[in-house]
Structure 1
Amino acid sequence: MMQQFYPTVSHNYQFELNKDMHFSAAHFIPSEDAGKCKVMHGHTYHLNITIGGNQLDSIGFLIDFKLLKELIHKKYDHSVLNDHPEFANKFPTTELLAQQVWQSIQTMLQATINRPNCLQVIVRETPTSYVVYRPRQEDLL
């Protein structure tokens, strides 16, 4: 995987974890306004996830890296994003994909003992285009 340098998010947590991953998926945006993207096509999406917290779990993790990969990669890899229930009434744009990835991760994190927060999700759709999703402060618990 090519190393990328991404924008950082400002925070006051003692620990910051970043996880890069990628998956391949297809999607289409069923709108005339989407131009060529209205036809099904695929991407190799590259993600960077930033998690912050002050407390580690019993073995010294903010969160185990493999749990993040299992949660996201297993869900989206080699799938059609339009077929996922979270996109039932929405177009699976890169922006909304980033938001959905954040929601999945944040929900998992809040079920842990140490309750870290997902501070940022970056989804790169092509080598030259990416989206940054940062939750509002009130969305963090």
Structure 2
Amino acid sequence: MMQQFYPQVQHDFRFELNKDMHFSAAHFIPDEEAGKCQVLHGHTYFVNVTIGGNELDPLGFLIDFKQLKDLIHKKYDHTVLNDHPEFQATFPTTERLAEQIWKSIQDVLRTRDNRPACLQVIVRETPTSYVVYRPLQEDL
């Protein structure tokens, strides 16, 4: 995987964790305004997740990198995004995918005693196009 430098999110946490990962998935946007994207097609999505926190768990982690990868990769790799329940009411655009990845991660982080927060999710759909999702402060 090539090195990427992404936009930084401003925060006051003592620790910041960034995890890069990728997965392959297909999707389509069933609307004629979507042009070619109406047709089922696939991408190798590259994802960067930023997590911040002030306290570490007993092992010294905000959260284990492997847990983050498993949470996203196992869910989406080699699937059709349109088939996932979270995309039944909306189209699986890159923007919505970034938002859903944030929700999945934040739901797990809320259960942790050290209470880290997912500050930013970046989803790269192609080598030249990516989306940044940052939650509202009240959603953390």
Q: TM-score, normalised by structure 1?
A: 0.99
Aligned pair 1:84/2:88, yes or no?
A: no
For residues 84 and 77 of structure 1, what CA distance do their matches in structure 2 show?
12
What residue is the counterpart of 1:73 in the other structure?
A: 73
Q: Which amino acid aligns with 2:6?
A: Y
Q: What's the CA shift for 1:19?
A: 0.0
For residues 59 and 84 of structure 1, what CA distance do their matches in structure 2 show?
33
**Identity %, equivalent residues:** 76
Matched residue count: 140
What residue is the counterpart of 2:17 in the other structure?
A: 17
Aligned pair 1:133/2:133, yes or no?
A: yes
1:33-63 deviation line (CA, Å, top 9, x unaligned): 0000000000000000000000000010000
What residue is the counterpart of 2:4 in the other structure?
A: 4
Q: What's the CA shift for 1:79?
A: 0.2
SS in 2 for 1:105: helix
What residue is the counterpart of 1:26 in the other structure?
A: 26
What residue is the counterpart of 1:58 in the other structure?
A: 58
Q: Which amino acid aligns with 1:24?
A: S
Q: Which amino acid aligns with 2:36?
A: K
What residue is the counterpart of 1:114 in the other structure?
A: 114
1:38-91 deviation line (CA, Å, top 9, x unaligned): 000000000000000000000100000000000000000000000000001100
Question: Could you say what the CA RMSD is over the residues aligned between the two structures, in angstroms?
Answer: 0.3
Q: Which amino acid aligns with 2:37?
A: C
Q: What's the CA shift for 1:25?
A: 0.1
Moved over 4 A (4+): none
For residues 107 and 54 of structure 2, what CA distance do their matches in structure 1 show?
18
SS in 2 for 1:73: helix
Q: TM-score, normalised by structure 2?
A: 1.00
What residue is the counterpart of 1:123 in the other structure?
A: 123
For residues 63 and 43 of structure 1, what CA distance do their matches in structure 2 show?
27
